[in-house]
């Protein structure tokens, strides 16, 4: 099931549309933008910082269109990635001092 509404937030606008209104999503390998073509030939362009970021947003759009729920917001700003670092444990063994 698709999201009920997809909201694209850019630095200058907010575009909302339903997955059913999407005719196609255009992405060229290595490009840093996505073009979402809607019914009526309205084009929503996401201009991104890198081709990697464009692929991330393409994946978010595909997820929203195929299995999203409710309102899905996709921001033009870079995706935040988090890195979890496990704390290290230091073990010290005390021995007898030399005589």
Strand pairing partners for 46?
A: 34
Cα(61)–Cα(75) distance, integer angstroms: 11
Task: Judge whether 9 and 74 are in contact, CB under 8 Å.
Answer: yes
Q: Is residue 95 part of a domain?
A: no
Task: Judge whether 5 and 71 are in contact, CB under 8 Å.
Answer: yes
Q: State the residue range of the domain holding 17.
A: 5-75
Task: Judge whether 8 and 64 are in contact, CB under 8 Å.
Answer: no
Q: Is residue 31 part of a domain?
A: yes
Cα(66)–Cα(68) distance, integer angstroms: 6
pLDDT score, position 92: 56
Return per-residue pLDDT of the chain as tens, 99 residues. Answer: 788 999 998 888 899 999 999 999 999 999 999 999 999 999 988 999 999 999 999 999 999 988 888 899 998 877 654 444 555 555 555 666 566
Q: Is residue 33 part of a domain?
A: yes
Q: Is residue 50 part of a domain?
A: yes
Domain count, the chain: 1
In the three-class reduction of DSSP (H, G, I as helix; E, B as strand; rest coil), residue 58 is classed as helix
Q: Is residue 65 part of a domain?
A: yes
């Amino acid at each position: 099931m698709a999201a009920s509404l997809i909201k694209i937030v850019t630095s200058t606008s907010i575009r909302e549309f339903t997955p059913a209104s999407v005719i196609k999503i255009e992405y060229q390998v290595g490009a840093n933008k996505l073009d979402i073509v809607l019914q009526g030939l309205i084009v929503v362009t996401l201009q991104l910082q890198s081709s990697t970021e464009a692929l991330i947003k393409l994946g978010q759009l595909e997820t929203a269109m195929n299995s999203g729920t409710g309102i899905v917001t996709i921001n033009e700003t870079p995706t935040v990635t988090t890195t979890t670092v496990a704390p290290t444990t230091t073990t010290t063994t005390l021995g007898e001092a030399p005589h």
